[in-house]
Amino acid sequence: MPGTLYVVATPIGNLADLTPRAREVLASVALIAAEDTRHTRKLLTHHGISRPLLSYHDHNEVVQAPRLLALLQEGKSVALVTDAGTPGIADPAYYLLQALLPHAIPIVPIPGPTAALAALAVSGLPTDRFVFEGFLPVKSGRRRQRLEVLAGEPRTMVLYESPHRLLRLLQELVTHLGPERRLVVARELTKRFEEVTRGTTATLLETFQTRLIRGEFTLVIAGCPT
Protein backbone atom coordinates (compact mmCIF):
# COMPACT_ATOMS: atom_id res chain seq x y z
CA MET A 1 0.00 0.00 0.00
CA PRO A 2 1.29 3.50 -0.77
CA GLY A 3 1.89 6.02 1.95
CA THR A 4 -0.37 9.01 2.58
CA LEU A 5 0.36 12.64 1.79
CA TYR A 6 -0.95 14.84 4.59
CA VAL A 7 -1.54 18.48 3.62
CA VAL A 8 -1.00 20.10 7.00
CA ALA A 9 -1.97 23.64 7.95
CA THR A 10 0.49 25.31 10.33
CA PRO A 11 0.24 28.52 12.40
CA ILE A 12 0.30 31.86 10.58
CA GLY A 13 2.10 33.45 13.51
CA ASN A 14 1.22 32.19 16.99
CA LEU A 15 2.88 28.78 17.37
CA ALA A 16 0.19 27.72 19.86
CA ASP A 17 -2.30 27.60 16.98
CA LEU A 18 -0.97 24.24 15.76
CA THR A 19 -3.88 21.82 16.21
CA PRO A 20 -3.44 18.61 18.25
CA ARG A 21 -4.19 16.55 15.13
CA ALA A 22 -1.57 18.43 13.09
CA ARG A 23 0.99 17.89 15.84
CA GLU A 24 0.19 14.16 15.91
CA VAL A 25 0.57 13.84 12.13
CA LEU A 26 3.83 15.80 12.01
CA ALA A 27 5.28 13.61 14.74
CA SER A 28 4.31 10.37 12.99
CA VAL A 29 5.21 10.78 9.31
CA ALA A 30 8.43 9.52 7.75
CA LEU A 31 9.24 12.91 6.23
CA ILE A 32 8.05 16.52 6.30
CA ALA A 33 8.24 18.46 3.02
CA ALA A 34 8.62 22.11 4.00
CA GLU A 35 8.73 25.36 2.04
CA ASP A 36 11.56 26.61 4.29
CA THR A 37 13.13 23.90 6.45
CA ARG A 38 14.67 26.43 8.83
CA HIS A 39 11.30 28.03 9.49
CA THR A 40 9.57 24.69 9.98
CA ARG A 41 12.34 23.44 12.27
CA LYS A 42 11.50 26.25 14.71
CA LEU A 43 7.87 25.12 14.78
CA LEU A 44 8.83 21.48 15.30
CA THR A 45 11.29 22.34 18.06
CA HIS A 46 8.67 24.43 19.85
CA HIS A 47 6.34 21.42 19.89
CA GLY A 48 9.01 18.83 20.69
CA ILE A 49 8.86 17.13 17.29
CA SER A 50 11.91 15.65 15.58
CA ARG A 51 11.36 14.40 12.04
CA PRO A 52 13.42 14.50 8.79
CA LEU A 53 12.80 17.56 6.63
CA LEU A 54 12.95 17.99 2.85
CA SER A 55 12.89 21.36 1.10
CA TYR A 56 9.91 21.71 -1.24
CA HIS A 57 9.01 25.07 -2.79
CA ASP A 58 8.12 26.76 -6.09
CA HIS A 59 11.71 26.76 -7.32
CA ASN A 60 12.52 23.07 -6.81
CA GLU A 61 9.15 21.34 -7.17
CA VAL A 62 10.02 19.79 -10.54
CA VAL A 63 12.96 17.97 -8.92
CA GLN A 64 11.43 17.20 -5.53
CA ALA A 65 7.97 16.02 -6.60
CA PRO A 66 9.30 12.74 -8.13
CA ARG A 67 11.33 12.10 -4.98
CA LEU A 68 8.27 12.53 -2.80
CA LEU A 69 6.23 10.31 -5.13
CA ALA A 70 8.87 7.58 -4.85
CA LEU A 71 8.78 7.72 -1.04
CA LEU A 72 5.00 7.53 -1.00
CA GLN A 73 5.02 4.58 -3.40
CA GLU A 74 7.38 2.82 -0.98
CA GLY A 75 4.67 3.09 1.67
CA LYS A 76 6.14 6.04 3.57
CA SER A 77 3.80 8.82 4.64
CA VAL A 78 4.73 12.46 4.09
CA ALA A 79 3.47 15.73 5.55
CA LEU A 80 3.44 18.81 3.32
CA VAL A 81 3.68 22.17 5.11
CA THR A 82 4.24 25.76 4.10
CA ASP A 83 5.88 28.55 6.07
CA ALA A 84 2.52 29.68 7.43
CA GLY A 85 -1.09 28.66 6.93
CA THR A 86 -2.51 26.07 4.56
CA PRO A 87 -0.44 24.61 1.69
CA GLY A 88 -1.96 25.42 -1.67
CA ILE A 89 -3.53 28.71 -0.54
CA ALA A 90 -1.09 31.13 -2.24
CA ASP A 91 1.66 28.65 -1.31
CA PRO A 92 3.27 25.55 -2.91
CA ALA A 93 1.14 22.39 -3.22
CA TYR A 94 -0.65 22.36 -6.57
CA TYR A 95 2.22 20.92 -8.61
CA LEU A 96 2.84 18.10 -6.15
CA LEU A 97 -0.82 17.12 -5.95
CA GLN A 98 -1.08 17.04 -9.74
CA ALA A 99 1.96 14.73 -9.83
CA LEU A 100 0.45 12.36 -7.25
CA LEU A 101 -3.15 12.10 -8.44
CA PRO A 102 -2.48 9.73 -11.40
CA HIS A 103 -0.80 7.28 -9.01
CA ALA A 104 -3.75 6.97 -6.59
CA ILE A 105 -1.76 8.28 -3.64
CA PRO A 106 -4.08 9.01 -0.67
CA ILE A 107 -4.14 12.76 0.06
CA VAL A 108 -5.55 13.84 3.43
CA PRO A 109 -6.18 17.44 4.55
CA ILE A 110 -5.25 18.45 8.10
CA PRO A 111 -7.07 21.79 8.32
CA GLY A 112 -6.05 24.77 10.38
CA PRO A 113 -5.09 28.45 10.12
CA THR A 114 -5.39 30.50 6.94
CA ALA A 115 -4.71 34.24 6.94
CA ALA A 116 -7.45 34.91 4.37
CA LEU A 117 -10.21 33.42 6.51
CA ALA A 118 -8.85 34.89 9.74
CA ALA A 119 -8.94 38.39 8.25
CA LEU A 120 -12.35 37.83 6.69
CA ALA A 121 -13.79 36.66 10.01
CA VAL A 122 -12.88 39.89 11.82
CA SER A 123 -13.37 42.29 8.91
CA GLY A 124 -16.98 43.22 9.57
CA LEU A 125 -17.66 42.90 5.85
CA PRO A 126 -20.13 40.39 4.33
CA THR A 127 -18.83 36.83 4.54
CA ASP A 128 -21.70 34.87 2.99
CA ARG A 129 -20.04 35.16 -0.44
CA PHE A 130 -16.42 36.10 -1.05
CA VAL A 131 -13.60 35.67 -3.54
CA PHE A 132 -9.95 34.98 -2.72
CA GLU A 133 -7.53 36.73 -5.09
CA GLY A 134 -4.24 36.07 -3.29
CA PHE A 135 -1.38 38.19 -4.65
CA LEU A 136 -2.17 40.37 -7.65
CA PRO A 137 0.18 40.21 -10.67
CA VAL A 138 3.33 42.28 -10.22
CA LYS A 139 3.65 43.49 -13.82
CA SER A 140 1.73 46.74 -14.30
CA GLY A 141 -0.28 45.70 -17.38
CA ARG A 142 -1.68 42.47 -15.98
CA ARG A 143 -2.13 44.09 -12.58
CA ARG A 144 -4.21 46.93 -14.03
CA GLN A 145 -6.37 44.49 -15.99
CA ARG A 146 -7.08 42.44 -12.87
CA LEU A 147 -7.97 45.52 -10.84
CA GLU A 148 -10.35 46.67 -13.56
CA VAL A 149 -12.17 43.31 -13.31
CA LEU A 150 -12.24 43.42 -9.51
CA ALA A 151 -13.75 46.91 -9.55
CA GLY A 152 -17.07 45.37 -10.58
CA GLU A 153 -16.87 42.25 -8.38
CA PRO A 154 -19.99 42.14 -6.14
CA ARG A 155 -18.53 39.74 -3.56
CA THR A 156 -16.19 40.60 -0.70
CA MET A 157 -12.59 40.24 -1.90
CA VAL A 158 -9.52 39.00 -0.01
CA LEU A 159 -6.00 39.89 -1.20
CA TYR A 160 -2.48 39.36 0.09
CA GLU A 161 0.25 41.96 -0.29
CA SER A 162 3.88 42.37 0.71
CA PRO A 163 4.93 45.39 2.81
CA HIS A 164 7.00 47.03 0.06
CA ARG A 165 4.01 47.06 -2.33
CA LEU A 166 1.25 47.97 0.14
CA LEU A 167 1.16 51.70 -0.64
CA ARG A 168 1.13 50.96 -4.37
CA LEU A 169 -1.86 48.65 -3.91
CA LEU A 170 -3.75 51.12 -1.73
CA GLN A 171 -3.28 53.84 -4.35
CA GLU A 172 -4.44 51.45 -7.08
CA LEU A 173 -7.55 50.59 -5.08
CA VAL A 174 -8.41 54.28 -4.79
CA THR A 175 -7.90 54.70 -8.54
CA HIS A 176 -9.81 51.64 -9.74
CA LEU A 177 -12.41 51.04 -6.99
CA GLY A 178 -12.93 54.63 -5.88
CA PRO A 179 -12.02 56.45 -2.66
CA GLU A 180 -15.13 55.40 -0.71
CA ARG A 181 -14.94 51.61 -1.05
CA ARG A 182 -14.89 49.96 2.40
CA LEU A 183 -11.57 48.30 3.20
CA VAL A 184 -9.96 46.35 6.04
CA VAL A 185 -6.18 45.96 6.29
CA ALA A 186 -5.02 43.18 8.64
CA ARG A 187 -1.35 43.09 9.59
CA GLU A 188 0.66 40.37 11.36
CA LEU A 189 -2.41 38.26 12.23
CA THR A 190 -2.02 36.18 15.43
CA LYS A 191 1.42 37.71 16.07
CA ARG A 192 2.57 40.10 18.79
CA PHE A 193 1.91 43.25 16.73
CA GLU A 194 -1.38 42.14 15.20
CA GLU A 195 -3.40 45.06 13.88
CA VAL A 196 -6.72 45.32 12.06
CA THR A 197 -7.44 48.74 10.53
CA ARG A 198 -10.84 49.55 9.03
CA GLY A 199 -11.92 52.45 6.84
CA THR A 200 -12.19 53.34 3.16
CA THR A 201 -9.61 53.00 0.43
CA ALA A 202 -8.82 56.73 0.68
CA THR A 203 -8.60 56.94 4.48
CA LEU A 204 -6.41 53.84 4.75
CA LEU A 205 -4.08 55.11 2.03
CA GLU A 206 -3.66 58.29 4.06
CA THR A 207 -3.17 56.29 7.26
CA PHE A 208 -0.43 54.02 5.92
CA GLN A 209 1.38 56.85 4.15
CA THR A 210 2.38 58.10 7.61
CA ARG A 211 3.51 54.72 9.00
CA LEU A 212 6.56 52.53 8.85
CA ILE A 213 5.20 49.53 6.93
CA ARG A 214 6.32 46.15 8.17
CA GLY A 215 4.86 42.66 8.38
CA GLU A 216 2.50 40.53 6.30
CA PHE A 217 -0.72 42.10 5.05
CA THR A 218 -4.15 40.71 4.22
CA LEU A 219 -6.71 43.08 2.71
CA VAL A 220 -10.47 42.54 2.78
CA ILE A 221 -12.38 44.74 0.33
CA ALA A 222 -16.11 45.33 0.11
CA GLY A 223 -17.75 44.19 -3.10
CA CYS A 224 -19.08 46.60 -5.69
CA PRO A 225 -22.46 48.01 -4.58
CA THR A 226 -25.33 46.71 -6.70
Boundaries of domain holding 64: 5-110
Q: Which of 110, 144, 177 is the last residue of a domain?
A: 110
pLDDT tens digits, one per residue of 68-102: 999 999 999 999 999 999 999 988 899 999 999 99
Do 123 and 92 have their domain in common? no
Please give the pLDDT value at position 181.
98
**Bridge-partner residues for 8, per DSSP?**
110
CATH number of the domain bearing residue 59 = 3.40.1010.10
Do 105 and 29 have their domain in common? yes
pLDDT tens digits, one per residue of 17-26: 999 999 999 9
Do 90 and 131 have their domain in common? no
Task: Calculate mean pLDDT across residues 45-70.
Answer: 96
CATH number of the domain bearing residue 162 = 3.30.950.10
Do 123 and 85 have their domain in common? no
DSSP characters for 165-178? Answer: GHHHHHHHHHHHH-
pLDDT tens digits, one per residue of 4-41: 999 999 999 999 999 999 999 999 999 999 999 999 99
CB 6 within 8 A of CB 79: yes
Do 119 and 89 have their domain in common? no
Q: Is residue 226 part of a domain?
A: no
Do 85 and 138 have their domain in common? no
Q: How far apart are CA 102 and CA 153, in angstroms?
A: 36
Q: What is the pLDDT confidence band of residue 118, given thresholds at 50, 70 and 90?
A: very high
Number of structural domains (the chain) is: 2
pTM of the model: 0.93
Please give the pLDDT value at position 32.
98
Q: What is the pLDDT confidence band of residue 156, given thresholds at 50, 70 and 90?
A: very high
Please give the pLDDT value at position 92.
85
